[in-house]
Amino acid sequence: MDKRQITVTSPLLPPLEEFIPYLQEIWDSKWITNNGSFHKRLEQALSEYLDVPYISLFTNGTLPLITALQALRITGEVITTPYSFVATTHALWWNGIKPVFVDVDPVTGNLDPDKIEAAITPKTTAIMPVHVYGNPCDTARIKEIADTYGLKVIYDAAHAFGVEVNGESVLKAGDMSTLSFHATKVYNTIEGGALVMHSAEAKQHIDYLKNFGFAGETKVVAPGINSKMDEVRAAYGLLNLKQVDTAIERRKHVAQMYRSELSKVPGIRCFEDIPSVRHNYAYFPIFVDEKEYGMTRDALYFKMQEKGVYGRRYFYPLISDFSTYRGLESARAENLPNARKLADSVICLPMFATLSDEEVGRVLESVVK
C-alpha cells in the first residue's frame, strides 16, 4: 500500500528565483512596511484582477472582519452562519457583538435567506454571510432583506477569491467583503488578507483604521489597529497573482476528475458547477450519506488516512458547538438542522494546484470501494 501522504492542501508558491530580485529591491530601498512600493503595486494589481475599485490589504483575513465591523459601527446582534471557519464568529465576539446563528441551505451550505427574517430583532444591525467553499450566496435576496430592515451586510469572502456571477465579482455585493490570503487559500501571501469596499471615502477610513487610526503625522481619528501588510509578503503576493489563473485551471481539472468518478458512487454527494458562476475550486467537499454509502463519515475519513489520504472535516464541528457559543439561544440543535447535517457528513478531499493525476487517482481509490 502506498503510504506517501497526500494532504488536503499545499500552498501555491512563487518561483524562488523570481522572488530573490524582489527581495533585493526591498533590501535596497530599506522600506519594509507601511504602504511601501510593493504594497501599492499589489493593491493596484488586485484591484484590477478582482475588478473592484477599492481594496485595502491586511496582514491576515481575520482583521478585515474585525475592522469592517468597527468601521461600519456594528453593534448589538449580527445574523451569521454556523457553517464556516471560526474566525467569522470570533470577529463578532471581539467587537462585543452577539452572533445570531441562522441555518444554511442544504444544497449550497450558505446562509438560507428564507430563515433570516425570523431571526431579526430590534438589536439586529447587520448580516454577516460567508460564501462557503466559494459558493456564491444569494446576494440579491440578502440585499433585499438588508434594505427592508436597514441592516448592513459584510460578506466573509475568504473562500471566494476570483469568484464571479454572470461576469461580476461577488466582492461587489454587500457594504464590504473580506478576503483571506492565508497559505491554505486559492491565492496566498503566506499570511494576508484584504477588505473590499465601495467608495474612496470608505477606503480612506479603512486605511486609517488599519494603521492605528493615523490620518497624518500627528492626527489620530479613530481607535485603530495595526493590520498592515509588509513589503515582503506584498512582493510574494505580486508573484503569486501571476500564476493564480493557471492554478485555478488545474484545480478545475482536479474537480472534474473527482466528479466524474464520484458521481457513480452511491451515497457520495459533491457540488456541481453552476453555469453562470466562475468557480475558483477552493475546496472539494464531499458529503457522505451513511446508509447509502454503507459507512459513517468518520469511518471513511479514517479509512482514507490508512491509505495516506488526509482529507479534512471542514466545517466540523459547527461554530455554534464551540464552548464560546454553545450557550446561545440560536445555537440550539433544532435551530440548525441543515448545518448540522452538512457538518456531520462532510470531508474535504485534497485540492491544490500541484496535485498530480496519479495522486487524484489515489484519493479516488480511497473513497471508491
Ligand X SMILES: *Cc1c(COP(=O)(O)O)cnc(C)c1O
Binding-site ranges for ligand X (CB under 6 A):
60-62, 84-85, 87-88, 130, 156, 158-159, 180, 182, 193
Cα separation of 163 and 170, whole Å? Answer: 6
Cα separation of 95 and 108, whole Å? Answer: 28
In angstroms, the first-to-last Cα distance of the chain is 15
Contact 362, 307 (CB under 8 A): yes
Q: Which is nearer to ligand X, 178 or 366 (CB)?
A: 178
Map grid coordinates 500627528 to a residue.
218
Q: In angstroms, what is the minimal distance from the CB of 219 to ligand X?
A: 29
Instruction: State the cell numbers at 270.
Output: 459533491
Q: Which is nearer to ligand X, 7 or 37 (CB)?
A: 7
Smallest CA-to-CA distance from 240 within 16, 9, 33 is with 16
Per-residue DSSP letter, 312: B
Map grid coordinates 501522504 to a residue.
5
Q: In angstroms, what is the minimal distance from the CB of 348 to ligand X?
A: 11
* DSSP string for 258-311: HHHHHTTSTTEEEPPPPTTEE-----EEEEE-HHHHTS-HHHHHHHHHHTTB--
Alpha-helical regions (H) of 30-77: 37-50, 63-71
Where would I find the beta strands (DSSP E) of 158-241?
164-165, 168-169, 176-180, 193-197
Q: Which is nearer to ligand X, 57 or 300 (CB)?
A: 57
Q: In angstroms, what is the minimal distance from the CB of 181 to ligand X?
A: 7
Q: In angstroms, what is the minimal distance from the CB of 159 to ligand X?
A: 6
Q: Which is nearer to ligand X, 262 or 349 (CB)?
A: 349
Contact 279, 273 (CB under 8 A): yes
Q: In angstroms, what is the minimal distance from the CB of 31 to ligand X?
A: 24
Q: In angstroms, what is the minimal distance from the CB of 130 to ligand X?
A: 5
Q: Which is nearer to ligand X, 54 or 133 (CB)?
A: 133
Q: Which is nearer to ligand X, 92 or 360 (CB)?
A: 92
Cα separation of 330 and 124, whole Å? Answer: 13
Per-residue DSSP letter, 350: P
Q: In angstroms, what is the minimal distance from the CB of 178 to ligand X?
A: 7
Q: Which is nearer to ligand X, 85 or 316 (CB)?
A: 85
Contact 152, 202 (CB under 8 A): no
Q: Which is nearer to ligand X, 169 or 366 (CB)?
A: 169
Contact 6, 363 (CB under 8 A): yes
Q: In angstroms, what is the minimal distance from the CB of 268 to ligand X?
A: 23
Q: In angstroms, what is the minimal distance from the CB of 357 to ligand X?
A: 27
Ranked by CB distance to ligand X, the top (closest) residue is 61
Q: Which is nearer to ligand X, 136 or 366 (CB)?
A: 136
Smallest CA-to-CA distance from 136 within 180, 102, 167, 182 is with 167
